[in-house]
Amino acid sequence: MTRVVLGSASAGRLKVLRQAGIDPLVVVSGVDEDRLIDGLGQDAAPGDVVGALAQAKAEQVAGELDAAVATDCVVIGCDSMLYLDGALCGKPESVEAARQLWQSMAGRSGQLYTGHCVIRLQDSDIVHREAQTSITTVHFGTPEPDDLEAYLAGGESLRVAGGFTLDGLGGWFIDGVDGDPSAVVGIGLPLTRALLRRAGVSIAALWADNAEPRR
């Protein structure tokens, strides 16, 4: 039995996996994201930043699993950031920061970088590790001022990279995406499928081993 472990607290990533037939074990990493980003330096490419964050999260979780889980599992780590005006944007730190970000995004397009890392563990040993990044262009609408204030007041913008969602309340203000919509939610299924395949795991096997319990 190959257990899927999601190294993320993201409700969006969990929802994507569950809707795709995988009910993962969720183990949240304690990676200091700011410290890792600072260590990479200001000249680090956006894809390298999110890739390093995804790998760091997956590696930390892989090193903390119970032996029973680590006997046979795949750990998935992810990280997403919006690239706009030459800068990476993570989760806004305040409502005012989210407001300024939305005022910058409105009527424009940005690139959502999503890092993915898959680690395969067998008998507690890492037998495969690979990280890749997907890039999806997001086309933002222009919310009416009262709509934007109502959205900001709900708090969703503070919990997600770039201050927006595609699958939540923020979806009202997204005009379209070029690329993989699931990556915008938080975990790209096509890229993750390819990473799992190279780790020697099939989707059919994971469906069988990680089905959500019937109620």
* Residues involved in catalysis: 79
Residue 49 tokens read as 């930043």
Query: What is the spatial distance between Cα 13 and Cα 83, in angstroms, rounded to a whole number?
Result: 20
- Tell me the CA end-to-end span of the chain in Å, nearest whole number: 22
**Which residues, 6+ apart, have CB-to-CB distance to 26 below 8 Å?**
5, 6, 8, 9, 14
Query: What is the spatial distance between Cα 164 and Cα 159, in angstroms, rounded to a whole number?
Result: 9
Cα angle value 23/24/28 (rounded, 5°): 140
**Are 192 and 76 within 8 A, CB to CB?**
yes
* Amino acid, res. 21: G
Residue 128 tokens read as 């495969």
**Are 95 and 152 within 8 A, CB to CB?**
yes
